[in-house]
Amino acid sequence: MKVLGATADLPEQAYRRDMDVTRRAALAGLVGGGLALAAVPAAAARTAAALTLEQQVGQLLAAGVPFGDIATAGALVTDHHVGTVFWAGRSDAGVRGLAADNAAVQRRCTTAATGGVLAFTALDQEGGQVQSLRGPGVSDIPSALEQGRSATAVVEQRAATWSRQLRQAGFTMNLAPVTDVVPYALRRTNVPIGRYDRELGYTGEAVAAATAAWVRGSRASRVEPVLKHFPGLGRVTADTDTTYGVHDDGTPRTSGTLTPWRAPLAAGAGAVMVSSAIYDLIDPTVQAFRSPVVVGGFLRRDLGFRGVVMTDDVGRAAAVRYVPVPDRAVQHVEAGGDLVLTVVPDQVPVMADALMSLARRSSTFQRYVRASAARVLALKAREGLA
């Protein structure tokens, strides 16, 4: 595990070279978005085709806004066709307070704004130190490590209860559970996960069982879970949110790496968040979320995943400091991804313009955009949002 330094570690020339290699590989259809075009459900493909290009692009954007900022959230949906609103920060408003806010967002999803497709309303509600919503009607959730010590039936039942509370508050997506495996020996030196007890266990088998139970419980309460952070942050020593150049030099592209991911996907998880670290043994050139090797090759081809692939926050994260804002969105879609999360609302129009501009110039990229929008719509259809 290594952490690189500042700007000198990624000079503009080297960045441009990596970007060009990524783009050529993706647009050639080697491992990029085209890999999953045939797997898009027909009904979702028809719905996507009925949307304007601007509305299709909007389905690929997840805009993070502070809890309670209805004005900003509504404007992003109305003006930029945003299809996912992520409430960032912390709130003690409880079920009733957030139900009103989420209902206000859904009222903005008009025919003109989103083609009448309702929004994913999302938050981080893992438990322990990562619990965004508290207050009346919301349980105090223990850490993931404590959750994972229970029998799988208990994990499932508790996840169903917590997710039912979220659904009552108007939430339809939860960026949880954490599917990263932190080896026991690294439990305190692993800054993003282990230090805060965010892991459900210390082995792939334990995490797989607990995560699958978590997924079943969440889906039973009609809240879409998002597995994170593929292919795993359990071996890094720095946090991609706060550190530039986070590398994992111990995770290979092997079937063993996929152990914790197979069971929850089989249990019905339809969304996976890809990390912003660089994986030296998989693709040492770019962050995972913009790597065709990680997304199109490892996740989609090797694991056979045909659901929604989203980024971690690529708005403020230090890991993407030197990646131009437009490229954070474009390269994720080129790599085979679908949903781009930024907690900087001002970046949304920049990303939207970049996606639309390339789609208008490239028929191949336009197909990627439509296929990605269709995958998002297929996932929404499970919850009656599309």
pLDDT at 41: 83
Q: Mean pLDDT, to the nearest integer, of 294-309?
A: 96
Q: Mean pLDDT, to the nearest integer, of 269-275?
A: 98
**The two three-digit tokens of residue 186, written as one number:** 């690294």
Round to whole Å and give the CA distance between 88 and 313: 10
pLDDT at 203: 96
Pick the closest to residue 14 from 286, 290, 345, 317 (CA basis).
286
Give 18-67 pLDDT, tens digit per residue: 445 444 454 444 444 445 455 688 899 999 999 999 999 999 999 999 99
Contact between 342 and 313 under an 8 Å Cβ cutoff? The reply is yes
Round to whole Å and give the CA distance between 12 and 21: 14
Count of domains forming the chain? 1
Q: Mean pLDDT, to the nearest integer, of 244-268?
A: 95
Residue 127 pLDDT > 50:
yes
Contact between 86 and 343 under an 8 Å Cβ cutoff? The reply is yes
**Cα→Cα distances 323→107, 276, 317, Å:** 35, 11, 11
Read off the pLDDT band of 329 (50, 70, 90). Answer: very high
pLDDT at 12: 38
Q: List the domain range (segments joined by +) for residue 235.
A: 2-382
pLDDT at 271: 98
CATH number for the domain harbouring residue 65: 3.20.20.300
pLDDT at 40: 80
Give 158-190 pLDDT, tens digit per residue: 999 999 999 999 999 999 999 999 999 999 999
pLDDT at 371: 95
Choose between 33 and 307: higher pLDDT.
307
**The two three-digit tokens of residue 145, written as one number:** 């490590």
pTM here is 0.92
Across the chain, what does the average pLDDT equal? Answer: 91
Pick the closest to residue 292 from 333, 352, 244, 348 (CA basis).
333
What is the share, in percent, of the chain residues with pLDDT greater than 90? Answer: 88
Round to whole Å and give the CA distance between 319 and 303: 25
